[in-house]
């Protein structure tokens, strides 16, 4: 027999699971952020630095760490007294919605307002899998080079915000902020681009404000 | 590089559809893969041939229809097509103000079963 014209999206189950995740996150008042970048661009460092500030500002965080192997990232985050659970994908290059739900169930949520999902370091595959997040954020460190957005266009085109990290290293490279910004702007005219460095904690503040405003716009309330 | 995850979904969805139609064996699955779906079709076929074992799809062939990526340029209005993932630059006017019209999709179109 022929079962014709079914035209089922192959990733439809993951999308459906992602929608279930989103409903759970929204019922709990959690703004959910999917962080995507190459390995070593500074995703964990970003979280180590911004989570304590968000906590002080009344927006405590939860973190789901995705890596192929080890619990090193979760250990770093736990040291900052932030609730975190590690997913080890054992070779899989991305996170999927079901993995997120299982991991989320292990988190002892009390009054947290933001859930960060640190995806597996990879600019290709994670962009293809919706996890139930409100915002997909691309991170690019200046040492990776200004050509990366154009080489991996989908992620940069579809992200709602781009973080340019390690900008303190720019003086050691033959590159300027402007080159990175214009390369990102080729693909994405609208997304805010935040420049940051762990050497200057104040460089995180604009991004933190953006997150807080996102939370307030979805869930209401005042600071 | 996530072809195995895609194949698992193909097997799961096809099995479900076949069971709903009271079939016990799948002979062919026909899918569409867009050039912008970030999938290598040779790897997909290779993974399918391994992963189909001990499922209802054991004797099934995977037929892959590739479709081009279509970029619509908002600057010059032209539509360009490519059979592979490209940068978002319009080949006619070199603007990056383009939108992907189609070619990101991955669909199961048809199942032949008995």
For B37, name the nearest residue in chain A, comparing CA atoms only.
A128
pLDDT of residue B93: 97
**Would residue A221 count as lying in a domain?**
no
The C-alpha of A149 sits at a distance from chain B's nearest C-alpha, in angstroms, of: 9
Residues in chain A within 8 Å Cβ distance of B34: none
The C-alpha of A13 sits at a distance from chain B's nearest C-alpha, in angstroms, of: 8
As a whole-number percent, the residues of chain B with pLDDT over 90 amount to 90
Residues in chain B within 8 Å Cβ distance of A2: 110-112
The number of distinct structural domains making up chain A is 1
**Would residue A218 count as lying in a domain?**
no
**Would residue A50 count as lying in a domain?**
yes
CATH of the domain at A104: 3.40.50.300
**Would residue A198 count as lying in a domain?**
yes
Q: What is the mean pLDDT of each run of 10 residues along chain A (223 residues)?
A: 92 96 98 97 96 96 94 91 92 93 96 97 92 98 96 93 97 96 93 98 98 97 80
DSSP chain A: -EE-S--EETTHHHHHHHHHHHHHHHHTT-EEEEEEE-TTSSHHHHHHHHHHHHHHTT--EEEEEEESS-SHHHHHHHHTT-EEEEEE-TT-SS--HHHHHHHHHTS--SS--EEEEE--S-SSGGGG---S-SEEEEEEEGGG-TTHHHHSHHHHHH-SEEEEE-GGGGGGTT--HHHHHHHHHHH-SSS-EEE-BTTBGGGGHHHHHHHHHHHHHHH----
Answer whether A129 touches B (CB < 8 Å).
yes
**Would residue A60 count as lying in a domain?**
yes
Range of the domain at A181: 3-213
**Would residue A219 count as lying in a domain?**
no
pLDDT at B85 over 90: no
**Would residue A189 count as lying in a domain?**
yes
Residues in chain B within 8 Å Cβ distance of A1: 21, 23, 112-114
For A13, name the nearest residue in chain B, comparing CA atoms only.
B9
As a whole-number percent, the residues of chain B with pLDDT over 70 amount to 99
**Would residue A220 count as lying in a domain?**
no
């Amino acid at each position: 027999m022929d079962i014709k014209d079914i035209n089922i999206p192959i990733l439809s189950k993951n999308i459906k699971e992602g929608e279930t995740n989103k409903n759970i996150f929204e019922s709990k008042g959690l703004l959910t952020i999917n962080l995507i970048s190459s390995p070593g661009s500074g995703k964990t460092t970003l979280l180590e630095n911004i989570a304590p500030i968000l906590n002080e500002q009344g927006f405590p965080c939860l973190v789901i760490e995705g890596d192929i192997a080890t619990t090193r990232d979760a250990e770093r985050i736990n040291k900052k007294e932030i609730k975190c659970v590690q997913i080890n994908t054992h070779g899989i290059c991305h996170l999927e919605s079901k993995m997120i739900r299982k991991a989320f169930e292990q988190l002892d949520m009390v009054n947290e307002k933001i859930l960060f999902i640190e995806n597996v370091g990879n600019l290709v595959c994670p962009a293809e899998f919706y996890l139930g997040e409100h915002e997909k954020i691309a991170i690019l460190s200046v040492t990776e080079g200004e050509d990366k957005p154009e080489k991996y266009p989908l992620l940069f085109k579809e992200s709602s915000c781009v973080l340019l990290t390690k900008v303190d290293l720019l003086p050691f490279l033959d590159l300027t902020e402007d080159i990175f910004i214009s390369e990102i702007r080729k693909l994405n005219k609208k997304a805010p681009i935040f420049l940051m460095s762990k050497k200057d904690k104040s460089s995180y503040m604009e991004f933190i404000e953006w997150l807080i405003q996102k939370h307030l716009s979805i869930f209401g309330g005042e600071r | 590089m996530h072809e195995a995850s895609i194949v698992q979904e193909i097997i799961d969805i096809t099995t479900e559809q076949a069971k709903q139609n009271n079939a016990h064996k799948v002979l062919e699955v026909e899918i569409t893969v867009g050039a912008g779906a970030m999938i290598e079709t040779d790897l997909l076929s290779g993974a399918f041939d391994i992963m189909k074992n001990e499922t209802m799809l054991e004797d099934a062939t995977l037929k892959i229809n590739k479709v081009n990526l279509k970029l619509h340029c908002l600057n010059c209005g032209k539509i360009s097509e490519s059979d592979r993932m490209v940068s978002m630059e319009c080949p006619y006017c070199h603007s990056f103000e383009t939108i992907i019209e189609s070619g990101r999709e991955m669909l199961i179109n048809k199942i032949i079963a008995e």
